[in-house]
Amino acid sequence: MKIIETGFNGLYELEPNVFGDKRGYFFESYRREVYQELGIEDDFVQDNESFSLKGTLRGLHYQKRPYAQAKLVRVVKGKVLDIALDIRKDSPTYGKHHQVLLDADRHNMFLIPEGFAHGFVALEDSVFFYKCSNYYNKEAEGGILWNDTDLKISWGIDSPIVSEKDQVLPNFAAYNEEPVF
């Protein structure tokens, strides 16, 4: 497993060792002891999968404490541009984001610790899979407006398909008034 540093504490891109031949390929997407050897101690308790049509944008979402979640995300089919926004008030990268192109052909993954808002845009029809370190809780849902100009996130797509809920999330300035992390 190769870890790619992002410059954000706890936020990593991961590249598994993939073994392929004329029959196909095999790789371990998760093995607790390997992650622990890398210093990753998150205990994942829930797996989620979603399908998104090309052009669909989901996010930026987070769970408030005590239901905050670390996520290990990857694409099983397709490609997505994945965004993690640091919302940890005491972090030197607070209010900044990092993006990773997740590609099913590369099998790369993105480890997002607690304290980040998360979103992605499907660059192709895509199946998105993620492990969570805590159970989803509806009352703990939070979000930040995906196209807040203060965040300067380049999603790389014009006119994305966005849910009604995600179109009315508060901007980062509103989050900043009462930060969760």
Examine the pLDDT at 82 and tell me if it is beyond 90: yes
Question: One of 35, 67, 130, 175 is an active-site residue; which one?
Answer: 130
77: pLDDT confidence band, cut at 50, 70 and 90? very high
Write down the pLDDT at residue 28: 93
Write down the pLDDT at residue 39: 84
> Nearest Cα to 175, choosing from 133, 116, 111, 114?
116
Examine the pLDDT at 70 and tell me if it is beyond 90: yes
Instruction: Report the C-alpha gap between 161 and 99 in whole angstroms.
Output: 19
Examine the pLDDT at 181 and tell me if it is beyond 90: no
Question: One of 12, 61, 62, 175 is an active-site residue; which one?
Answer: 61
Q: What percent of the chain has pLDDT over 70?
A: 100
**Least confident stretch, 35-44, 53-62, 87-96, 125-134:** 35-44
Write down the pLDDT at residue 98: 98
Model pTM score: 0.95
The mean pLDDT of the chain is 96
Mean pLDDT of 15-33: 95
Write down the pLDDT at residue 37: 86
Q: What percent of the chain has pLDDT over 90?
A: 92
Write down the pLDDT at residue 180: 83
Write down the pLDDT at residue 108: 98
Examine the pLDDT at 134 and tell me if it is beyond 90: yes
Mean pLDDT of 90-96: 97
Instruction: Identify the bridge partners of residue 118 per DSSP, sorted by sequence position.
Output: 61, 84
Q: Domains in the chain, ordered, with CATH? A: 2-177 (2.60.120.10)
Does the annotation count 98 as an active-site position?
no
Examine the pLDDT at 34 and tell me if it is beyond 90: no
Mean pLDDT of 94-118: 98
Does the annotation count 61 as an active-site position?
yes
